[in-house]
Amino acid sequence: MLPDSFRFGVMEGKGNVKVREEKLPNLKDDEVLIKQEACNICTTDYQQWQGKREHQGYPMAGGHESSGIIIAKGEKVSNSLTVGDRVCILYDFCGDCDKCKKGEITSCRNIKQFGKNYSDKYYGIFGFANYFIRKSKSVVKISNELSASEAGFVEPLSSVLKGMRKLRINSGFDTVVVIGGGTMGLLNAAVAQAMGARVIVSERNPQKVKKIKQMKLELIDAGNEDPVEQVRKRTNGNGADIVIIAVGTSSANEQALEMIKNDEGKILLFAAGYPAPELNIDSNTIHYKQCELIGTYGSNLDDFNNAAKMLSEHRVNVSPLIEEKIPLTRIQEAFEKASTRGNYRISVLLQS
Amino acid sequence: MLPDSFRFGVMEGKGNVKVREEKLPNLKDDEVLIKQEACNICTTDYQQWQGKREHQGYPMAGGHESSGIIIAKGEKVSNSLTVGDRVCILYDFCGDCDKCKKGEITSCRNIKQFGKNYSDKYYGIFGFANYFIRKSKSVVKISNELSASEAGFVEPLSSVLKGMRKLRINSGFDTVVVIGGGTMGLLNAAVAQAMGARVIVSERNPQKVKKIKQMKLELIDAGNEDPVEQVRKRTNGNGADIVIIAVGTSSANEQALEMIKNDEGKILLFAAGYPAPELNIDSNTIHYKQCELIGTYGSNLDDFNNAAKMLSEHRVNVSPLIEEKIPLTRIQEAFEKASTRGNYRISVLLQS
Amino acid sequence: MLPDSFRFGVMEGKGNVKVREEKLPNLKDDEVLIKQEACNICTTDYQQWQGKREHQGYPMAGGHESSGIIIAKGEKVSNSLTVGDRVCILYDFCGDCDKCKKGEITSCRNIKQFGKNYSDKYYGIFGFANYFIRKSKSVVKISNELSASEAGFVEPLSSVLKGMRKLRINSGFDTVVVIGGGTMGLLNAAVAQAMGARVIVSERNPQKVKKIKQMKLELIDAGNEDPVEQVRKRTNGNGADIVIIAVGTSSANEQALEMIKNDEGKILLFAAGYPAPELNIDSNTIHYKQCELIGTYGSNLDDFNNAAKMLSEHRVNVSPLIEEKIPLTRIQEAFEKASTRGNYRISVLLQS
Amino acid sequence: MLPDSFRFGVMEGKGNVKVREEKLPNLKDDEVLIKQEACNICTTDYQQWQGKREHQGYPMAGGHESSGIIIAKGEKVSNSLTVGDRVCILYDFCGDCDKCKKGEITSCRNIKQFGKNYSDKYYGIFGFANYFIRKSKSVVKISNELSASEAGFVEPLSSVLKGMRKLRINSGFDTVVVIGGGTMGLLNAAVAQAMGARVIVSERNPQKVKKIKQMKLELIDAGNEDPVEQVRKRTNGNGADIVIIAVGTSSANEQALEMIKNDEGKILLFAAGYPAPELNIDSNTIHYKQCELIGTYGSNLDDFNNAAKMLSEHRVNVSPLIEEKIPLTRIQEAFEKASTRGNYRISVLLQS
């Protein structure tokens, strides 16, 4: 029997996340009812909880790294989606605007990623709900072999894939340095490696250093070594072909500019930072070094699809990036742990 | 006041196209009601009428090069589409399957391009209807400055744009030979030129030769000149960088293989032919000439969007490719003219 | 009879350029003797004359935009170069280092572009010589149909082509704004147009504004219009897909950042400026706007070759960029005119 | 003390390879004297020995997969090459023609790869010589950490890299099937894997099957499994994204066409075959399947450079592809073994 209500995590204000319950609406022709299984807590979520992004609005029915199983589908939903399929949720999008026509759904001109899209009461897209109804176009299928928490990585992975598209890695040749060994840094590292780059991760936090070693990634222990010097040394003095800045700080920007090779290097500005990190560079330097500073944010429909494919085919292994799984009933504790420096993804289990 | 029925052209059998009338269904939340203005007759259409593609099925409510004006919209249709907007129609697509997620809507796994998608009675997508209701996702906006018949070129232009993506023209440098000066040949020629290629069109039909001259395209008059010799001569003996085969015949294939440069040439198989044209080449030749044979068919959502953009910005001018405009009431005559050798697009005016 | 000495322009110090004469050495196996016909005066040259780049060293036998005719060749020079061929001169390069193996000859690790490569006495590569002996690998052939002064554009054009490679213009779709209508700005504009972009040039100097109109390029008259506002207005509010900064100033940088579209824009830092222009941007802006700042400098062997091909095939017309032709005997006057604000290339005729 | 003569292997006729001795000429300014250490026997070589390529001409001083140490250099050779450097030999090239300007040295218009380039008496480039003098531009540096026989792989690896450039592998996503597990097949496989593809090798020869297992590559044992069925099965019915045909036979071509995915697949014609393999495909099939048939042959200067970089950085391991090392004095035996079905590269040691 199908549920008629759903429970979900809501950030009600700074430091306060609760579980609430609402009625499920009727399933429409083009919708699927998803039994959501897990949702991982992203920085956007826990910084809202920490009060650092209050401009996003309360109450926030957040969570956007969620996966589950289709348990019912509307009449017009195609045969490509079946009851029993594991799916990952995407942001909803209008499908009409020029951005959506290009697949750039995170830039949709009509539906904002963290707006009140599903409810007049709540911001957010209800990732932390145990059941939810979504448009069938707003999910992608993923292998049942993965855990629900691993499947939750489709959204962050899609944003990494967009960055990689923009970087145009020279597979088999490039040496990529990732500054920052947090979840997004290591996800970038794992993908760059899967795409045939040599990858070096620079990090100073001892807990993260340990994780990097455990994942057998090449490490610069920035607490004990000079990252710029190490990059030069390990590349025969050439510098990195590519630097991915996965931590939003002025010092990371500065290091990146010193680490890249003398000509034709590329720097990906993957992470935002608050306050906005400085970038001390004049245009002559970019000109003469023939380098590229590349910004990336969001992802397109194909990136989401490819992220699901990449996980389903075990091209990257995200399981080391799951710090702990905590049931929905203890969601407040989950947010506390997610906010703890040095922790990787906390996954909220939605059926327990 | 909105219409409650619509009239539309139907191919009922070989050589027989009639206008029928049906009730319009209720407009759903995610749909738009379009006052269709013009629909151009494509080869797929007139060959069905000629009885050459009977396997596609009768009755066929064909036409897929159609444009019109939105006169009503469902409640959930986004602000990007407004009453009064000129739009071009696309094929419908499920949006759920892996192909649709990649935007490859003409390869949708669930909705066939010329299936019974809108009706149990009729094949086709009702391009020749004076009014029709469509999903809002299945249209793209286009400038009101263009005529309705010009706007109808979005679909064929999108297929040309897909071919160009696959060709990766070296803009500013490449010399592109187009074999065949019919509508699709000249559309390929116009686009390649707009993308910065030198373009030469080879054609033998005197009526088409005249059109090519009128469009001020560089011509090989294949009735009076040897195309292979001419290409060699006009390229200092090098041959063409790219040959686009826009007519499906064995002799066109043969010419293309002789016209391309000795190494690293690219041939685009743009046109199908019936019976299937032969391709006499062994794999050593491809290997040693380092050439590429590239197939293309259909288009993706972004190609449709780009086609609308290209036309709206007057990057290509399709008006010379419109042979004649004929009202819906005389659709049988329109098909006769469309089937006449040497004619370019016949545009059916749907409001008269 | 072949000459046994050559006359050439030498910058002896600030504001002082003279013609000197030296003996020609014996022609080696792998060398060609070139009767040089014209050499255009580049910024690097006249700023040396103005004393703004004294660090480059005196005496400077400058000039690097030179063309001529082969009048003798060494025994081992291949059949691809013949007496009578028109050629453009390139920088010399070692051919051994990793940069040269990649064709990146302007980054050669052993032969500096403006070093004392041909003489112990003089810096520079003797572009302003009436005869000179060069390695056969350091020339590219170009059509005899062009004037010698036009042929001299191969070097600056090659640097524009490198920038275009890095920009990856979306031909047929992109709108490119060029800030600065000097020689290099208009060369960028002409090439972008030849590659299928819509091009808009922004310039405030009335003399240059006149030239832009004469070349029938789309103009923003920055003395009378607000460039940022104009770009937004002329692109339906979207902004430019690409901005090429062809004048090295902080205000040009600032304008570029305001002119590009809101996401996925690209800015090419084509020009250096002295003092180094500021770039006021934080990394969050690059991240969220998903834009690219791309540096370019120099060119590779293929760019030189392509520049010769592009000119030979009349894909771009550089003749409007030649301000005046002045004989070698009046080279001091030529430098005065080259240094005059608003002037385009001054071409020194070497045989008169 | 430097040698004044050199010994080298010469194919004097079918089945007959001898060691001869000649005087070394004087070292010119732009040349290096190389103490050659190893040269691997390629198919071109042993098929000449077998009499299958007699059109190439006798006596053939073959061998083109050679490496050695610089023991002397001419006065004008740059600092990038030093006595003691390990280098790999390239084909010689004119440097003047349009092909060379593009770096496409194996297509040089003036110096044929297997012509009489170094001698009036002998075809070939003297790969099997213990000492040889070459232009400094015709070598690339490679790490001393590799064995001389491994370093010999630069030439075949460069040709694989050209193929990969043309294939544009979608790293991290594509599944690549290689048909044929000989030296070139496994080299393609190793590189595709290093570039982030999933790779499956299809082979029926038991000796080669064993090697593939030893290299831990995913195998289709074509003697016991149906390759087409296996590819479909292992890709969820989709077929391969890319098929590389590394054995020149009609049946390989046929399999490739059946193995690739239904749309947008790519087939690389890597291998030639004698007699020329058939390719049974009509142009409608290429059109509707939107597939690409891509030829590749030879390599450019950058490919050679990249091959040396790839080996030096241990991105691929070629040591399993060396079947046996045999001294120059036993070169006849080396050719016998190279001609033996199932064997990988036989490496001729030139200093013993």
pLDDT of residue A155: 98
Strand B292-295 and strand D292-295: pairing?
antiparallel
Using CB atoms within 10 Å of the CB of residue A1, give its burial: 0 to 12 exposed, 13 to 18 middle, 19+ buried.
exposed
User: What is the tens place of the pLDDT at every residue in B313-329?
Assistant: 999 999 999 999 999 99
ipTM score for this prediction = 0.95
Torsion of CA B54, B59, B63, B68, to 10 degrees: -170
pLDDT bin (cut points 50, 70, 90) of residue B336 is very high
User: What is the tens place of the pLDDT at every residue in C254-272?
Assistant: 999 999 999 999 999 999 9
Q: How far is CA C194 from CA B186, B195, C93, C244, in A?
A: 20, 8, 30, 15
Residue of C nearest to B191 (CA): C172
Residue of A nearest to B140 (CA): A96
b/e map of B211-240 (b: 16 or more CB within 10 Å)?
Answer: bbeebebbbbbbeeeebbebbbebbeeebb
Mean local confidence (pLDDT), C32-56:
93
**% of chain C surpassing 70 pLDDT:** 100
Q: What is the rounded CA–CA span in Å between residue C51 and residue C72?
A: 37
User: What is the tens place of the pLDDT at every residue in B239-253?
Assistant: 999 999 999 999 999
- D293–B297 CB contact, under 8 Å: no
A contacts of D315 (beta carbons < 8 Å) = 172-173, 198
Pairs of CB atoms within 8 A across A/D = 41
Q: What is the rounded CA–CA span in Å between residue B307 and residue B225?
A: 34
Q: Which helix (H) or strand (E) holds A69?
A: strand A66-73
Q: What is the rounded CA–CA span in Å between residue B58 and residue B12?
A: 6
Mean pLDDT of successive 10-residue stretches along chain A, which has 352 residues? 95 96 96 98 93 89 97 96 97 94 95 87 96 97 97 98 98 98 98 98 97 98 98 97 97 97 97 92 96 97 97 98 98 97 97 90
Tell me which residues of chain C have a C-beta less than 8 Å from any C-beta of chain A: 107, 166, 245, 248, 253, 263, 269-273, 276-279, 281-298
Mean local confidence (pLDDT), C142-156:
97
> Which tokens go with A257?
């500019």
pLDDT of residue D114: 82
pLDDT of residue B264: 97
pLDDT of residue B71: 98
Q: Indicate whether this model's pTM tops 0.95.
A: yes
pLDDT bin (cut points 50, 70, 90) of residue C279 is very high
Nearest-by-Cβ selection for A96 from B81, B302, B304: B81
Q: Which residues pair with B345 in a beta bridge?
A: B322
Pairs of CB atoms within 8 A across B/D = 107
pLDDT bin (cut points 50, 70, 90) of residue C55 is confident
Tell me which residues of chain D have a C-beta less than 8 Å from any C-beta of chain A: 164, 169, 171-173, 191, 194-196, 198, 306, 309-310, 313, 315
DSSP 8-class letter at D206: H
Pairs of CB atoms within 8 A across A/B = 73
pLDDT bin (cut points 50, 70, 90) of residue C239 is very high
For residue B344, the one-letter residue type is Y
Q: What is the rounded CA–CA span in Å between residue D25 and residue D15?
A: 30
A176 and A198 Cβ atoms separated by less than 8 Å: yes
Q: What are phi and psi of D177, to 5 degrees?
A: -100, 130
- C284–A290 CB contact, under 8 Å: no
Q: If DSSP codes are grouped into helix, strand and coil, which group holds residue B54?
A: helix
Q: Which residues pair with D69 in a beta bridge?
A: D35, D86
pLDDT of residue B15: 95
Using CB atoms within 10 Å of the CB of residue A88, give its burial: 0 to 12 exposed, 13 to 18 middle, 19+ buried.
buried
pLDDT of residue A124: 94
Nearest-by-Cβ selection for A295 from C107, C289, C295: C289
For residue A237, the one-letter residue type is G
pLDDT of residue D159: 98
What secondary structure does DSSP assign to B221-266, as a single string? ETTTS-HHHHHHHHTTT--BSEEEE-S--HHHHHHHHHHB-SSS-E
Q: Which residues pair with A242 in a beta bridge?
A: A176, A266
Mean local confidence (pLDDT), C70-79:
96
pLDDT of residue A112: 87
pLDDT of residue C49: 94
**What domains, with CATH codes, occur in chain C?**
5-153+318-349 (3.90.180.10), 163-295 (3.40.50.720)
From the CB of residue A275, how many other CB atoms can be counted at a distance below 10 Å?
10
Predicted confidence (pLDDT) at residue B352 exceeds the cutoff of 90: no
Q: What are phi and psi of B199, to 5 degrees?
A: -125, 135
Residues sharing a CB contact under 8 Å with residue C251, sequence separation 6 or more, in sequence order: none
From the CB of residue B241, how many other CB atoms can be counted at a distance below 10 Å?
21
User: What is the tens place of the pLDDT at every residue in B93-115?
Assistant: 999 999 999 999 999 999 988 88
Nearest-by-Cβ selection for A283 from C107, C269, C290: C269
**Whose CA is closest to C9, among C24, C23, C19?**
C19
* Sole residue written with tokens 């054009």: C157
pLDDT of residue A114: 82
What secondary structure does DSSP assign to D143-165, as a single string? -TTS-HHHHTTHHHHHHHHHHHH
* Sole residue written with tokens 């604000």: C341
Question: For chain C, what is the mean pLDDT?
Answer: 96
- D78–C109 CB contact, under 8 Å: yes
Minimal C-alpha gap between A12 and chain C (Å):
27
Q: If DSSP codes are grouped into helix, strand and coil, which group holds residue B239?
A: coil
What secondary structure does DSSP assign to C238-249, as a single string? --BSEEEE-S--
Nearest-by-Cβ selection for D273 from B263, B273, B284: B284
Q: How far is CA D325 from CA A254, D151, D332, in A?
A: 51, 13, 13
pLDDT of residue D113: 81
> What tens-digit pLDDT sequence spans chain D (352 residues)?
799 999 999 999 999 999 999 999 999 999 999 999 999 999 989 999 999 888 888 999 999 999 999 999 999 999 999 999 999 999 999 999 999 999 999 999 999 888 898 889 999 999 999 999 999 999 999 999 999 999 999 999 999 999 999 999 999 999 999 999 999 999 999 999 999 999 999 999 999 999 999 999 999 999 999 999 999 999 999 999 999 999 999 999 999 999 999 999 999 999 999 889 999 999 999 999 999 999 999 999 999 999 999 999 999 999 999 999 999 999 999 999 999 999 999 999 999 8
pLDDT of residue B335: 98
Q: What is the rounded CA–CA span in Å between residue C97 and residue C94?
A: 7
Tell which of A169, A193, A195 to mutate to test the D interface (max D CBs under 10 Å).
Answer: A195
- Please provide the size of chain A in residues: 352
User: What is the tens place of the pLDDT at every residue in B126-153?
Assistant: 999 999 999 999 999 999 999 999 999 9
* Sole residue written with tokens 């009933």: A329
- D80–C110 CB contact, under 8 Å: yes
Is the preceding omega at residue A275 within 30 degrees of 0, hence cis? yes
Minimal C-alpha gap between D152 and chain B (Å):
23
Residue of D nearest to C142 (CA): D98
